[in-house]
Structure 1
Amino acid sequence: MDQIRRVIIALAAVLVWALVPNAVQAEEHELVITHMEIAETNIRPKVGDTVKFINQADIAHNLYLTYEDGTVQNLDTQFPGMSKTAKIERSGKVVVRCWIHPVIRMEFDAADAD
C-alpha cells in the first residue's frame, strides 16, 4: 500500500509540474553612465525586469526614474565605479534623470510583464 501511495504522489507531482507554466524570468538590462550621458539607451524592459546603471564616469551621479503617473524611484548617490539597480515597477514611458546633473536625461518604454 505504501508503494502505491508513493507512485500516486510521484505521478501527481509530475502532472502538476507539467501543467503549471514555467515562471517568466525577469531580465537585467545594463546602462553605462559616461560622464554626462547614459550610453546605450535602446532598451525595452518589462515590468519586473531590472535596469542596472553602471557609473563609469569620474564623478558622482544621483539618478531617478519618473513613471508616467508621476511616481519617482530614486537610486540615491552613485559614486564612480558603483552600480545601482532599479526594478521596473510600471509599464509606459520612463524618464531617467540625474538630480545633480539635469543635462543627463534618457527615456525608454517599459512593457507589461508577460
Structure 2
Amino acid sequence: MAMIPRLFPGVLVLLLGTFLLAAPARAEEFEVQIHHTEVLNPGISPRVGDVLSFVNHAEIAHNLYLTYEDGTVVTLDTQPPGTTKRAMLKQAGHVIVRCWIHPIIRMEFDVAPH
C-alpha cells in the first residue's frame, strides 16, 4: 500500500507528458490583403487546419472562393469593403483563390499536410 502514493505522481507525469506530445500543433492564421482588384500574396506556407484571413482594403466588394486541386470549391460569400473573411484550410495540395466578381484576382499556394 505504501508504494501506491509514491507511484501515483510518476504516473501522472507520464500521462501528462504523453498528452502534451500527442496534442495537435496550434493552427496559424495568415493575413491576405485585398487592394482594389489584386490580392497581395504574402508568400505563405500554410498547413491543413491553418486559417487565411482575407482583409478587404478596397472600396469595392469582393466574393472570394478557394478551389482545391480535387475540384472542391469553398466560397467566402460577398465581402464588403473594410471587412475580413476567414477560411480554414481543410486539405493538403494546391489551392487557387479567385473572385467571382473580379476574375482578374488570382492567388495560388500549396497547403502542406498537418
* TM-score using structure 2 length: 0.88
- Equivalent residue for 2:11? 12
Give yes or no for contact 2:60–2:81 (8 Å, CA) kept in 1: yes
Letter in 2 for 1:35: H
- Counterpart-to-counterpart distance in 2, 1:11 and 1:67: 47
- Counterpart-to-counterpart distance in 2, 1:35 and 1:13: 56
Alpha-carbon offset, residue 7 of structure 1: 5.9
RMSD: 1.8
Alpha-carbon offset, residue 23 of structure 1: 2.5
- Counterpart-to-counterpart distance in 1, 2:102 and 2:3: 69
Alpha-carbon offset, residue 17 of structure 1: 1.1
Alpha-carbon offset, residue 4 of structure 1: 7.4
Gaps of 5+ in 1: none
Q: How much identity, in percent, do the aligned residues show?
A: 50
Alpha-carbon offset, residue 12 of structure 1: 2.4
Letter in 2 for 1:65: L
- Equivalent residue for 1:39? 40
Deviations 1:18-41 (A, max 9, x none): 123143111001100000001134
Equivalenced residue count is 112
* TM-score using structure 1 length: 0.88
Gaps of 5+ in 2: none
Aligned: 1:54 with 2:55: yes
- Equivalent residue for 1:63? 64
